[in-house]
A and B are shown apart, each in its own frame.
Chain A
Amino acid sequence: METILARVTEEPLSVAEHEAAVADKAAGAVVSFAGVVRDHDGGRSVTELEYTGHPSAPELIAEIAAEFAARPEVQAVAVSHRIGLLGIGDVALACAVSAAHRGQAFTACAELVDEVKARLPIWKRQVFSDGEEEWVACP
């Protein structure tokens, strides 16, 4: 029904802020997700990640959020992706979805994450502890 928050930002993300943003008297369930920078990938030790976005990324995340907010079973949606240099443990993707019932909220939140990963024009450069780096998913 409502997109409360949809943004691409260089500022640190708070999942709690997203949960609070979708809270609603009609919502019996709030499901949230944090995509967090981890210290390993493919068995190698990771020291930092940099996310960069295409200029259209803010528009795209708003479009995706609006699609989920338009679902009749969804009460409210909040989703943000962080860009820039992130450290281990930093939140890169924060989402929260509220709905009348938990099943609907779990499903919508999981699908929202999948959709953001598939459609949002954002890229990730991974730096390993040996100094090597790679663009994730790029051949």
Chain B
Amino acid sequence: MPVTVRYFAGARAAVGVDTETREAGTLAELVGQLADAHGERLERVLPACSFLVDGTSTRDRALVLAPGSVVDVLPPFAGG
């Protein structure tokens, strides 16, 4: 399933791109792939991240991704 991944803030800095396309069936599969593909810096950030799948916040890694889903990788918020 092709899915679009968008990175923000510290996750974006770890990866070096804003967005990329990946093939994955579940959020867990996708996250594993991202860690393998982008190396140690993103691997460190990912466990702290929450994810927005098509605009809905989730930490459920078993979530099944629909083709064309947009997954946002959100590091811990630090406003204020």
CB-defined contacts of B47 to chain A, threshold 8 Å: 139
Is B10 a contact of A113 with CB atoms below 8 Å?
A: no
B77 pairs with A120, CB closer than 8 A: yes
CA distance A125 to B50 in the complex (A): 18
Q: Which among B13, B48, B74, B80 has the greatest number of chain A C-beta atoms within 10 A?
A: B80
Of B13, B44, B80, which is within 8 A of A139 by CB? B44
Determine whether B78 belongs to the interface, using a CB cutoff of 8 Å to chain A.
Answer: yes
Tell whether, in the assembled complex, residue A121 and residue B78 are in contact, meaning their CB atoms are under 8 Å apart: no
**Inter-chain contacts of B24 with A (CB < 8 A):** none
Closest approach, in angstroms, between the C-beta of B11 and any C-beta of chain A? 8
Contact A136 B78 (CB under 8 A): yes
Smallest Cβ-Cβ distance to B74: which chain A residue: A121
Contacts of B10 on A, CB cut-off 8 Å? Answer: 123, 135, 138
Residue of B nearest to A52 (CB): B9
- Summarize B's interface: helix, strand, loop or mixed: mixed
B76 beta carbon closer than 8 Å to chain A: yes
- Min Cβ gap B39→A in Å is 14
Q: Fill in one digit per residue for B1-18: 1 if any A CB lies within 8 Å of its CB, else 0.
A: 000000011110100000
A139 touches B45 (CB 8 A): yes
Contact of A56 among B55, B78, B80 (CB under 8 A): B55
B10, chain A: closest CB distance, angstroms: 3
The one of B52, B76, B80 that contacts A138, using a Cβ cutoff of 8 Å: B76
CB-CB contacts below 8 Å: B29-50 with A: 44-45, 47-48
**Contacts A/B (CB < 8 Å), 24 sampled:** A51-B79, A52-B9, A54-B8, A54-B74, A56-B52, A92-B79, A113-B80, A116-B79, A116-B80, A117-B79, A117-B80, A120-B77, A120-B79, A121-B74, A122-B79, A123-B78, A123-B79, A135-B9, A135-B78, A136-B78, A137-B78, A138-B9, A138-B76, A139-B45
